[in-house]
């Protein structure tokens, strides 16, 4: 079948359809809505078997998703941003149930201030929840990742829910050619869900998600989930290799682009990594030996793969499209922790915050980050983390602030509505 | 639909299904009601529970239930029920579950969850006409966390967040009417001290389809401040004084199943409980007691 032009959202919906999901608990939020609308249309027309139910909140949506998976059906759901955080209590809960299902998150910056465009603070807020995480850079990868995610979630060595992340607007609403694998071939890769003994049925009474008394059993079950998640690295490798054989697309846990002879590598996740790829090509044209390391699998954290990818390099440039307020970039701190004391770990790791709320990262900025990192390597002194922000952007925000200030003064209580400049001069204030 | 089979006390189930030795307090009126309810519903059930006292019924690796159990969270047990019901239906439809393996989905929450953070999930479940049974055991406060006021707390009751000389300033929320306003298949109030009335209603609810909603007043020695041996007596007085009307909503009609024509004075009920002691000692507060009585009277004036 020739590739179809699909948005990232449509690719996610196709992933669910090809995975032959039984059940879709839903709740709308921009920029995810298109996913549930497409699935709703297919389910209504009968093009896709299964059932969708619209809950009254994401908290309930994830509860229903986990409960259905715990009863033994294949479940798909999708959300974004505020919705993911609204469901946060249940993300931890259903992961603790060891309920295997796939949740697509369409990244969007978190309120406040409220915005619609992408960054990764939403999905990274779930990084400790027990959901595994796959991060996509293009629309084809969205579809592929949904299929891979089911294999991960349902693997007997894992049995945990999986989040597949795509960036709002940049992927959700961008049409790209996507090849749709044949349903038959997908069935070969992803057979129907076998819930084994985790289900509800009258002839096999079960108590799930019961309380424990004390830290002993609690620690045991939490750590067991952690160990199951860690199994995800090896399982992912096996499953991705199988996927490659069947569908001819290589989906490594950590994507390495022109890294073999690179002296310095960019390190980032998500769709903005395609900008880094582009920058790598241009910088290579200019004689710079650079590359890109992009974790696709972020939970479990593929520490070994990352180390192999960066070992022996002179420096790493970490670009975080997120901000842990009061600490800095999340990828940066996690990467440093994973590299500490490891033989071959690059001596210089620089940290940049970029792309918050969908802010672009320009080719000049990739060049600039490289320059700063080269200087750090030469001087042996690593600069503090910084925000990618141009003088022009600062000028723009200053203008907005000036307007806000004028508006506030002009509409202050007792000042009447809008005054002309003469009256303003007659009533000077301190 | 099966005929109503429980007509007299001697028709009540004689085998008791719920195991003993749970960590509930002695004299727990909620557990008393649950025992009776479980005897009627039986083990082909999955209980979907919200955070509260009853969460401690199933503590690894023990459970008093012969059937199934899923603990969710405080706000979303009805959504958990939705997921389980839908999944069971899907499995039945696909032939992956035999009809005799099907389960009734039963939500079990306290009043805090039902009246507060769980209300939106409950409302939406009824909007979707979810086929489930909801049992709210109403101990009139956040019992598990030490009996703070919930919106089911009655006027003037002392709780751990409304002390002082007046107790809880608000009035108990009318959850029965809020639920009934959704037009579900069935809504009923019950109490463990009236086992026949309770069993008849649970039997009726069991045999209906759609959302079937039960509120059980749950006398709570620990939270209400009385001797555990008085639980049954307090339950009877709640009905005799008219404070806890036993009623059901079905086919758009509210019917009272027990009308206390000669109502006892509310004082008989209030006096037995530590949470109302401030109304009588060191100085009586006749105005508050009269207010409570007047509200009960005005309720029944409209009924009869
Ligand atoms: C989101 C959330 N907030 C608070 C709690 C703490 N909590 C556990 S049980 C409970 C009280 C529940 O009250 P109710 O529903 O009346 O049940 P009861 O404890 O009286 O049995 C509270 C507040 C919780 N588990 N989850
Ligand atoms: S606090 Fe009250 S409701 Fe909770 S277990 Fe004890 S008696 Fe029962
Ligand atoms: Mg309560």
- Domain spans of chain A? 4-246, 254-387, 391-427
Residues pairing with B108 in the sheet:
B49, B135
Looking at domain A254-387, which of 2.40.220.10, 3.40.50.1970, 3.40.50.920, 3.40.250.10 is its CATH number? 3.40.50.920
Q: Is the pLDDT of residue A311 over 70?
A: yes
Between residues 226 and 265 of chain B, which touch chain A (CB distance below 8 Å)?
Answer: none
pLDDT at A413: 84
**What's the CATH fold of domain A4-246?**
Rossmann fold (3.40.50)
Rounded CA separation B160/B142 (Å): 9
Measured in Å, how far apart are chain A's first and last C-alpha atoms?
Answer: 73
Q: Give the pLDDT of residue A198.
A: 87
Q: Which positions 90-149 of B are in contact with A (Cβ < 8 Å)?
A: 90-91, 94, 96-97, 100-103, 120-121, 123-124, 127-128
Give the A window 21-60 contacts with B, CB below 8 Å.
Answer: 22-23, 25, 50-51, 53, 55-57, 59-60
Question: Is the residue at B1 inside a domain?
Answer: no
Whether A200 sits inside 8 A of B123 (CB atoms) is: no
pLDDT in tens, A334-366: 999 999 999 999 999 999 999 999 999 999 999
The protein residue whose alpha carbon is closest to atom 8 in ligand 2 is B28
Does residue A387 have a pLDDT over 50? yes
A117-135 pLDDT, tens per residue? 999 999 999 999 999 999 9
Which residues does B129 contact at the CB level (< 8 Å), separation at least 6? B184, B185, B210, B211
**Between these two residues, B102 and A413, which has the higher pLDDT value?**
B102
Residues of B in contact with A68 (CB under 8 A): 83-84, 86-87, 90
At residue B161, does pLDDT exceed 80?
Answer: yes
Contacts A61 to B, Cβ<8 Å? 79
* pLDDT at residue number A425: 46
Mean pLDDT for B271-282 is 96
Number of domains in chain B: 1
Residue A418 is given by DSSP the state P
Residue A132 parent element (H or E): strand A132-135
Q: Is A200 on the interface with B (CB under 8 A)?
A: yes
pLDDT of residue A418: 52
pLDDT-based confidence at A260, cuts 50/70/90?
very high
In a domain, residue B127? The reply is yes
Q: A–B: how many Cβ contacts below 8 A?
A: 152
Q: What six digits make up the tokens of A190?
A: 């992803």
Residue A428: the pLDDT is 43
Question: Closest approach of chain A CAs to the CA of B291, in angstroms?
Answer: 38
Contact assessment for residue B213 and residue B108, using Cβ atoms and an 8 Å cutoff? no
Q: Has residue B63 got a pLDDT over 50?
A: yes
Residue B54 CA to residue B212 CA, distance in Å, equals 20
From the list B226, B213, B271, B217, the residue with the least C-alpha distance to B244 is: B217
Range of the domain at B107: 9-303
Position A87 pLDDT exceeds 70: yes
Average pLDDT over residues B216-242: 98
A387-396 mean pLDDT? 98
Distance CA A31, CA B248 (A): 45
CA dihedral A319, A325, A331, A334 (to 10 degrees): 150
Beta strands in A338-388 (DSSP E): 348-353, 386-387
**pLDDT tens figures, A7-55:** 999 999 999 999 999 999 999 999 999 999 999 999 999 999 999 999 9
The finding on whether B51 has its CB within 6 A of some atom of ligand 1 is yes
Buried b (16+ CB within 10 A) or exposed e, A13-28: bbbbbbbbbbbbbbbb
Q: How far is CA A187 from CA A15, A150, A243, in A?
A: 12, 12, 12
Nearest CA in chain B to A88: B73
Q: Residue A232 has which token pair?
A: 């995800």
What is the reported pLDDT for A416? 58
- Asked if pLDDT for residue B18 goes beyond 90, the answer is yes
Neighbours of A418 (CB within 10 A): 8
Report CB contact under 8 Å: A64, B82.
yes
Evaluate the omega torsion of the peptide bond into residue A31 and state whether it is cis, within 30 degrees of 0: yes
Q: What's the confidence (pLDDT) of residue B2?
A: 54
**Is A67 in contact with B96 (Cβ distance < 8 A)?**
no
At A1, is the pLDDT very low, low, confident or very high (cuts 50, 70, 90)? confident
**Per residue in A218-237, pLDDT tens?**
999 999 999 999 999 999 99
- The yes-or-no verdict on residue B286 having pLDDT over 70 is yes
Chain B residue numbers touching A53 (CB-CB < 8 A)? 82, 86, 128
For residue B137, give the nearest of B48, B217, B36 by alpha carbon. Answer: B217
Structure confidence at residue A197 (pLDDT): 87
Q: What is the DSSP string of chain B?
A: -PPP---SGGGS-SS--S-S--SSPTT-HHHHHHHHHHHHH-SSEEEEE-SSGGGGGSBTTB-S-SSEEEE--SS-HHHHHHHHHHHHHHHHHTTSS-GGG--EEEEEEEHHHHHTTTHHHHHHHHHTT--EEEEEEE-SSBTTTT-B--TTPPTT--BTTB-TTT---S----HHHHHHTT--SEEEEEETT-HHHHHHHHHHHHHS-SEEEEEEE---HHHHTS-GGGHHHHHHHHHHTTSS-EEEEETTEEEEEE--SSPPPHHHHHTT-GGGGGGTSSS--HHHHHHHHHHHHHHHHHH-
Reported ipTM: 0.97
**B4 inside domain:** no
pLDDT at A423: 46
The confidence score (pLDDT) of residue B177 equals: 98
Question: Which 8-state DSSP code applies to residue A317?
Answer: E
The per-residue b/e assignment along A274-310, b for 16 or more CB within 10 angstroms, e otherwise, is ebbbebbeebeeeebbbbbbbbbbbbbbbbebbbebb
Q: Whose structure tokens read 């959704």? A: B182
pLDDT at B304: 77
* Mean pLDDT to the nearest integer, B14-31: 95
Looking at CA atoms only, how far is residue A164 from chain B in angstroms? Answer: 21
| Burial (CB count within 10 angstroms: exposed 0-12, middle 13-18, buried 19+), residue A239 | buried
pLDDT at B227 over 60: yes
CA dist list (Å): B172 to B150, B159, B254: 9, 13, 19
Distance CA B285, CA B124 (A): 42
pLDDT in tens, A104-120: 999 999 999 999 999 99
- Chain A (66-105) residues lying within 8 Å, Cβ to Cβ, of chain B: 66-73, 75, 89-90, 93
Nearest to B90 among A51, A201, A213 (CB): A51
- For residue A414, give the 3-state DSSP assignment: coil
Confidence of residue B1 (pLDDT cuts 50, 70, 90): very low
Distance in angstroms (rounded) separating the CA atoms of residues A191 and B251? 46
- A406's enclosing H/E stretch is helix A391-410
Is the pLDDT confidence value at A424 over 50? no
- Which residues fall within 8 angstroms of residue B45, CB to CB, at 6 or more apart? B38, B65, B67, B68, B103, B104, B105, B106
Residue A91 clears pLDDT 70, i.e. is over it: yes
Tokens found for residue A224: 């067991």
Which tokens hold the place of A79?
Answer: 């959300």
C-alpha A270/C-alpha A169 separation (Å) is 12
Give the pLDDT of residue A426.
43
Q: What CATH number does residue B206 fall under?
A: 3.40.50.970
pLDDT tier at A299, thresholds 50, 70, 90:
very high
């Amino acid at each position: 079948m020739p590739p179809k032009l699909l948005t990232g959202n449509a690719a996610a919906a196709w992933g669910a359809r090809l995975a032959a999901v039984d059940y879709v608990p839903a709740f709308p939020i921009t920029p995810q809505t298109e996913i549930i609308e497409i699935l709703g249309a297919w389910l209504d027309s009968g093009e896709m078997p299964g059932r969708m139910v619209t809950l009254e909140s994401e908290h309930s949506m994830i509860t229903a998703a986990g409960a259905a998976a715990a009863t033994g059906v294949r479940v798909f759901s999708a959300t974004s941003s505020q919705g993911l955080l609204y469901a946060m209590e249940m993300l931890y809960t259903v992961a603790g149930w060891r309920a295997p299902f796939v949740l697509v998150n369409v990244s969007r910056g978190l309120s406040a201030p409220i915005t619609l465009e992408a960054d990764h603070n939403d999905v990274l807020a779930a990084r400790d929840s027990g959901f595994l995480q796959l991060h996509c850079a293009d629309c084809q990868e969205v579809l592929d990742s949904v299929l891979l995610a089911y294999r991960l979630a349902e693997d007997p060595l894992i049995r945990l829910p999986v989040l597949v992340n795509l960036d709002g607007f940049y992927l959700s609403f961008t049409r790209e050619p996507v090849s749709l694998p044949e349903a038959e071939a997908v069935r070969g890769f992803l057979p129907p869900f076998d819930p084994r003994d985790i289900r509800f049925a009258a002839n096999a009474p079960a108590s799930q998600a019961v309380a424990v008394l004390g830290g002993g059993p609690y620690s045991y079950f939490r750590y067991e989930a952690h160990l199951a998640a860690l199994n995800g690295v090896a399982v992912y490798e096996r499953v991705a290799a199988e996927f490659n054989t069947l569908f001819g697309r290589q989906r490594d846990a950590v994507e390495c682009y022109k890294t073999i002879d690179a002296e310095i590598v960019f390190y980032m996740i998500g769709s903005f990594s395609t900008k880094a790829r582009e920058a790598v090509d241009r910088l290579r044209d200019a004689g710079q030996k650079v590359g890109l390391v992009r974790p696709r699998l972020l939970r479990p954290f593929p520490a070994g793969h990352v180390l192999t990818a960066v070992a022996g390099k002179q420096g790493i440039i970490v670009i975080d499209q997120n901000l842990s307020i009061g600490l800095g970039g999340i990828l940066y701190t996690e990467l440093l922790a994973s590299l500490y004391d490891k033989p071959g770990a690059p001596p210089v790791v620089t940290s940049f915050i970029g792309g918050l709320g969908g802010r672009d990262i320009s080719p000049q900025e990739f060049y600039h980050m490289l320059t700063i990192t080269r200087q750090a390597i030469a001087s042996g002194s690593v600069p503090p983390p910084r925000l990618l922000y141009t003088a022009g952007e600062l000028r723009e925000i200053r203008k907005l602030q000036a307007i806000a200030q004028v508006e506030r003064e002009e509409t202050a209580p007792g000042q009447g509505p809008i005054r002309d400049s003469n009256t303003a001069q007659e009533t000077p204030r301190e | 639909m099966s005929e109503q089979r429980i007509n007299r006390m001697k028709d009540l189930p004689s085998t008791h299904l719920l195991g003993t030795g749970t960590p509930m307090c002695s004299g727990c009126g909620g557990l008393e009601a649950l025992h009776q309810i479980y005897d009627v519903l039986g083990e082909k059930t999955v209980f979907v529970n919200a955070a509260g006292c009853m969460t401690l019924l199933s503590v690894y690796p023990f459970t008093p239930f012969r059937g199934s159990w899923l603990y969710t969270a405080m706000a979303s047990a009805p959504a958990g029920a939705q997921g389980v019901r839908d999944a069971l239906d899907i499995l039945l439809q696909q032939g992956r579950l035999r009809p005799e393996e099907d389960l009734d989905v039963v939500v079990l929450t306290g009043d805090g969850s039902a009246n507060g953070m769980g209300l939106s999930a409950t409302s939406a479940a009824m909007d979707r006409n979810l086929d489930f049974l909801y049992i709210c055991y109403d101990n009139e406060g956040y019992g598990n966390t030490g009996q703070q006021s919930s919106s089911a707390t009655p006027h003037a009751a002392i709780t751990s967040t409304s002390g002082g000389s007046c107790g809880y300033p608000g009035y108990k929320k009318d959850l029965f009417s809020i639920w009934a306003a959704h037009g579900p298949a069935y809504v009923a109030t019950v109490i463990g001290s009236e086992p026949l009335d309770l069993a008849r209603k649970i039997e009726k609810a069991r045999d209906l389809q759609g959302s079937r909603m039960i509120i059980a007043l749950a006398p709570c020695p620990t939270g209400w401040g009385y001797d555990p041996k008085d639980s049954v007596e307090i339950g009877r007085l709640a009905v005799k004084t008219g404070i806890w009307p036993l009623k059901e909503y079905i086919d758009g009609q509210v019917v009272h199943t027990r009308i206390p024509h000669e109502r006892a004075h509310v004082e008989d009920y209030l006096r037995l409980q530590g949470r109302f002691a401030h109304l009588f000692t060191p100085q009586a507060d006749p105005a508050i007691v009269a207010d409570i009585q007047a509200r009960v009277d005005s309720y029944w004036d409209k009924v009869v």
